[in-house]
Structure 1
């Protein structure tokens, strides 16, 4: 079994996770300002990604630039991983490759303290990526516990590039924000990422 095979029901059954769905969990987080260079990058990249209209194009031309902007803006050193194998517990099925992971560590060669898991929605279907993202969040929590990392909350995002949905895991509860956040308000998306990173600093 791998991360991509998990459903929400399996997450609840296999790991005893409670799911809490609420509107606006992250809606009060302030927007983050960004550079003209980043704005221009998105202005040029987004139409190309949407015209190509593949997961790979959205990943390369929308998601990756946003995550790189988060890394650039972070006041503390963080590391960013793309397509990295993250095998935490074979027996529990917490194995496989993660689309993107953000770690609260400057170490770029090895994953050290994962905080944020980002999953590309398959076929532009946000719902299809929720189980996978939750599995990666549970794996990150277990990884940090075993390493003695003081990471209280694990965050997750499922995205089509244009639409973003955020979650957070603390203890045995995953909270899902039923709001969807849109690329047209990328400052809010950056703000949610920054808030998640800062809450564990």
Structure 2
């Protein structure tokens, strides 16, 4: 069963997870990150991505440029993978493709531990991507443990490009911030990613 087959109920049962809903876990006083003029161009492409309205268009025009900007801001000391096979434990359904995966390793040819942020792209219905995103976060947790990296908290987001919903996984507990953060503005979303990668 690949990641895409997981619903919230299935992932809870399979991995004995506890869910906490509606709790914001980002600090309130995050400094907004000012994007480069290159990334400001994302906003010019929003009408096109919305009109085409496919996951691929939204991923390519909005999500990927934003994540690569975060990588540039962090001096390319992280890696960003797009459409990467992430097969961790096929016997438990932890296999398949992650839309986007961020690792604290700068190595870009293969996914190296510690994997810390999963991004699942959805056309519109963010709720439909939560089970899949959580399964990918569990896979990242197990991947890190197998590589002997102890990462206390992993993060995930389900995004349409114009709406972003964030999650975190600590041990067996998943916290889902039920706020759908809009883009634009782009600055808060970038601040969230910088915080998750550096301080989360």
TM-score w.r.t. the length of structure 2 is 0.94
Alpha-carbon deviations, 1:2-44, whole Å to 9, x = none? Answer: 00000111111111111101243226151222222321x1132
- 2: CA distance, partners of 1:43 / 1:90: 39
Q: CA deviation at 1:149?
A: 1.3
Q: Which residue in the other structure is 1:87 paired with?
A: 87
Deviates more, 1:30-39 or 1:110-119: 30-39
**CA contact under 8 A between 2:42 and 2:62: conserved in structure 1?**
yes
Alpha-carbon distance in structure 1 between the residues aligned to 2:161 and 2:43? 14
CA distance in 1, matches of 2:108, 2:82: 11
CA distance in structure 1 between the partners assigned to 2:180 and 2:43 by the alignment? 21
The secondary structure found in structure 1 opposite 2:92 is: coil
SS of corresponding position for 2:64: helix
**Structure 2 unaligned spans of 5+:** none
Query: 1:163-182 counterparts in 2 under 5 A?
Result: 163-182=163-182
> Which residue does 1:133 correspond to in 2?
133
Report the equivalent of 2:53. Answer: 53
Task: Provide the residue aligned with 1:32 in structure 2.
Answer: 33
CA contact 2:23–2:175 (8 Å) conserved in 1: no
Q: Any conservation in 2 of the 1:115–1:197 contact (CA below 8 Å)?
A: yes
The residue that corresponds to 1:152 in the other structure is: 152
Whole-angstrom CA distance in 2 between matches of 1:173 and 1:80: 25
The reply to whether residue 189 of structure 1 matches residue 189 of structure 2 is yes
Q: Structure 1 regions of 5+ residues with no counterpart?
A: none
Aligned residues: 198
Judge conservation of contact 1:29–1:188 (CA < 8 Å) in 2. Answer: no
8 Å contact from structure 1 (residues 3, 135) kept in 2: yes
Deviations 1:44-84 (A, max 9, x none): 22122112222111111011111111111115600010111
Deviation at 1:197, TM superposition (A): 0.5
- Evaluate the alpha carbon distance shift between residue 190 and residue 143 of structure 1 in structure 2; reply closer, same or farther with a 3 A threshold: same
C-alpha distance in structure 1 between counterparts of 2:177 and 2:20, whole Å: 9
For 2:158 and 2:73, locate their aligned partners in 1 and report how far apart those are by CA, in whole Å. Answer: 21
Superposed CA deviations along residues 118-158 of structure 1, whole A, max 9, x for unmatched, are 0012x410001000000000000000011011322110000
> What CA distance in whole angstroms lies between the structure 2 residues aligned with 1:93 and 1:37?
38
CA distance in 2, matches of 1:183, 1:27: 19
C-alpha separation in 1, matches of 2:7 and 2:29: 29
| Deviant stretches of 4+, over 3 Å | none
